[in-house]
């Protein structure tokens, strides 16, 4: 069956995981990047500390640091128990156990929580949410979306996926989405219809393999850009 969740939860990953999930090169890290649906990931915090430029958008940023921290704590046990009950759905290589996974995720989210007050004041964390973003056309070089689209295929409709990816394509020259599996580890039913629609709109939509795999067979991202 795989992991099941009723709603979208705050759960974040690190800069290293972002690099692996989105196959980011050293040169690409220097680009103007949007982290769409970034949640409590430490990507923005770590990138900013190293002098890179990232804007993150997520409705969770409307809450205070303490409120987000409390929600993370509530989420932790749900995720750990869910992963424990479905251990056969994951690759236990770089991450050796559900408990170690929890430690890695909590460490990343602690970095986010530490950075969040400054990030809000500096305008690096915005509470805007898909499918409508407040940015100008091609404001960003690259838009990333981790564990939201396709992941929550049961909660988010095909229409939402198409509108959201279209909006990301408007504000960024290239869009990358990871993974292509839903929560229970199956290929999202929205993937092919989304690709078909994007191609009709004149975009190149390619599935690319990446070095990151935690969900079994979850080692692919979707890359979208205008057909040149």
The pLDDT tens digits of the residues spanning 145-154 come to 999 999 999 9
| H-state helical runs in the chain | 15-21, 43-49, 65-84, 98-121, 158-171, 191-200
Question: What is the pLDDT of the chain when averaged over all its residues?
Answer: 94
Check pLDDT > 90 for residue 2: no
User: In this predicted structure, what is the pLDDT of residue 6?
Assistant: 63
Quick one: 15-226 is in which CATH superfamily?
A: Vaccinia Virus protein VP39 (3.40.50.150)
Q: Are strands 203-209 and 220-226 parallel, antiparallel or unpaired?
A: antiparallel
Q: Over the stretch 49-106, which tens digit does the pLDDT of each residue have? A: 999 999 999 999 999 999 999 999 999 988 999 899 999 999 999 899 999 999 999 9
**HSE-CB of 208 using CA atoms within 13 angstroms:** 17
Domain positions in the chain: 15-226
Radius of gyration (Cα) for the chain, nearest Å? 16
Instruction: Give the lowest-confidence range in 3-7, 81-85, 213-217.
Output: 3-7
Mean pLDDT of the 168-179 span: 98
> What is the C-alpha to C-alpha distance for residues 150 and 145, in angstroms, rounded to an integer?
10
User: In this predicted structure, what is the pLDDT of residue 4?
Assistant: 59
User: In this predicted structure, what is the pLDDT of residue 17?
Assistant: 96
User: In this predicted structure, what is the pLDDT of residue 116?
Assistant: 98
In 3-state terms, the chain is what percent helix, strand and coil (to 5)? 40, 20, 40
User: In this predicted structure, what is the pLDDT of residue 3?
Assistant: 58
User: In this predicted structure, what is the pLDDT of residue 5?
Assistant: 58
Structural contact between residues 13 and 79, judged by C-beta atoms closer than 8 angstroms: no
CB atoms inside a 10 Å sphere around CB 204: 13
Query: How large a percentage of the chain has pLDDT more than 70?
Result: 96
- State pTM to two decimals: 0.95
Q: Are strands 140-146 and 125-126 parallel, antiparallel or unpaired?
A: unpaired
């Amino acid at each position: 069956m795989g992991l099941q969740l009723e709603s979208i939860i705050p759960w974040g990953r690190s800069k290293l995981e972002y690099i692996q999930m989105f196959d980011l090169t050293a040169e690409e890290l220097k680009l103007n990047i949007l982290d769409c649906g970034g949640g409590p990931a430490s990507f923005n915090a770590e990138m900013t500390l190293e002098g890179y430029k990232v804007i993150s958008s997520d409705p969770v940023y409307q809450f205070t640091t303490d409120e987000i921290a409390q929600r993370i704590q509530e989420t932790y046990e749900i995720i750990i128990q869910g992963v424990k009950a479905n251990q056969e759905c994951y690759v236990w290589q770089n991450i050796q156990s559900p408990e170690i996974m929890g430690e890695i995720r909590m460490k990343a989210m602690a970095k986010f929580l530490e950075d969040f007050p400054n990030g809000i004041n500096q305008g690096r964390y915005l509470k805007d949410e898909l499918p409508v973003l407040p940015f100008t056309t091609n404001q960003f070089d690259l838009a990333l979306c981790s564990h939201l689209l396709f992941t929550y295929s049961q909660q988010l409709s095909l229409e939402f996926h198409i509108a959201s990816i279209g909006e990301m394509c408007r504000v960024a020259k290239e869009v990358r989405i990871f993974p292509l599996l839903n929560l229970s580890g199956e290929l999202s039913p929205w993937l092919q219809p989304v690709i078909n629609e994007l191609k009709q709109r004149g975009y190149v939509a390619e599935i690319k393999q990446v070095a990151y795999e935690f969900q079994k067979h979850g080692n692919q991202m979707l890359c979208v850009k205008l057909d040149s």
